[in-house]
């Protein structure tokens, strides 16, 4: 096999709670992660290398992203090849579609696709657990992205429990024209002073019961306390989605992307038009849970 193509799906957080800041500087989280139908496409080809040495070549169709060790794709490939003693070279091409610096784990999802892609290309026989164990060295969201679907995520994000998928619904996803630093958000979050926490256990129960109302009624993200304060447009987008028929709307991850959940595609389509007209977000998608 000389070529493998993988889709790297974006994620949203149906609920995101931060319990405390640990002595090592990491934050302990409790959140429900969900894959959605927006994806990047990665193609992996066996390459020629330089002077017969294993080499990684990365080509990206976005000027915003680096093609070297500054990219999680490159770092994931390097880690896998070093760990498994791969002697061949690889050429990786990324077709970017997930919004960048958006709170949708685009970089982590791309890194996760590298694990699946190189596993197949080089016949490494990594199990899902092998990939996740190695993936956490790249980033806290990578083990989840390797698994995908619906999951309860705890610890720093690496303790994952698969949960029942939500009932089918339409999603409107909008990213305002700003980039948010996850580092900035967590540095400015004071977990010990948070007055309200989302009901994550209740959310998991609602998922098990297949209750869309139970899910939308428990949506919450404590990181909004930081991000909305700095970027009020996030609040505006949430309000517009709800005013246009969303069961509820929430910021994903550290932001600034907002998603609204709709009971029908037609309703989500109408809200898309309203959002487009107001010009608060350049990247707008109608999609669904995956």
User: Are 251 and 258 in contact, with CB atoms under 8 Å apart?
Assistant: yes
Polymer length of the chain: 290
Query: Is residue 98 classed as helix, strand or coil in its secondary structure?
Result: coil
> What secondary structure letter does DSSP report for 99?
P
Residues 25, 244: Cα–Cα separation, whole Å: 40
User: Are 214 and 146 in contact, with CB atoms under 8 Å apart?
Assistant: no
Inter-CA distances, 143 with 13, 76, 151, 164, Å: 15, 12, 11, 18
The β-bridge partners of 12 are 34
**95 catalytically annotated:** no
Q: Which residues of 223-253 are buried (b: 16+ CB within 10 A; e: fewer)?
A: bbbbbbeebebbbbbbebbeebbbbbbbbbb
Query: Is residue 254 classed as helix, strand or coil in its secondary structure?
Result: coil
User: Measured on CA atoms in the order 81, 142, 257, 10, is the torsion positive or negative?
Assistant: positive
Active-site annotation holder among 30, 141, 175, 238: 141
Active-site annotation holder among 11, 30, 175, 238: 11
**11 catalytically annotated:** yes
User: Are 257 and 175 in contact, with CB atoms under 8 Å apart?
Assistant: yes
Residues 94, 229: Cα–Cα separation, whole Å: 34
Residues annotated as catalytic are 11, 141
């Amino acid at each position: 096999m000389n070529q493998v193509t993988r889709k790297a799906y974006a994620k949203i957080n149906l609920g995101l709670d931060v319990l405390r800041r640990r002595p090592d500087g990491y934050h302990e989280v409790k959140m429900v992660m969900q894959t959605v139908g927006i994806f990047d496409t990665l193609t992996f080809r066996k390459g020629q290398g330089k002077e017969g040495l294993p080499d990684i070549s990365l080509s990206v169709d976005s000027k915003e992203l680096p093609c070297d060790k500054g990219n999680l794709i490159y770092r994931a490939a390097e880690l896998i090849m070093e760990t498994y003693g791969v002697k061949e070279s690889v050429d990786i091409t990324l077709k970017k579609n997930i919004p960048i610096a958006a709170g949708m784990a685009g970089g982590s999802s791309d890194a996760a696709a590298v694990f699946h892609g190189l596993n197949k290309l080089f016949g490494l026989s990594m199990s899902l657990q092998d990939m996740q164990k190695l993936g956490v060295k790249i980033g806290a969201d990578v083990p989840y992205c390797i698994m995908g679907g619906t999951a309860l995520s705890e610890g720093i994000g690496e303790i994952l429990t698969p949960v029942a998928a939500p009932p089918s619904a339409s999603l409107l996803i909008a990213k305002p024209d700003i980039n948010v630093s996850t580092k900035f958000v967590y540095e400015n979050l004071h977990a010990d002073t948070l007055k309200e926490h989302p009901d994550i256990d209740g959310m998991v129960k609602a998922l098990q019961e297949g209750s869309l109302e139970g899910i939308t009624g428990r949506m919450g993200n404590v990181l909004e306390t930081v991000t909305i304060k700095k970027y009020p447009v996030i609040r505006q987008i949430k309000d517009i989605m709800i005013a246009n028929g969303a069961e509820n709307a929430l910021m994903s991850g550290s932001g600034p992307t907002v998603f609204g959940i709709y009971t029908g595609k037609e309703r989500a389509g109408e809200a898309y038009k309203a959002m487009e007209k107001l010009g608060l977000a350049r990247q707008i998608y109608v999609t669904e849970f995956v």
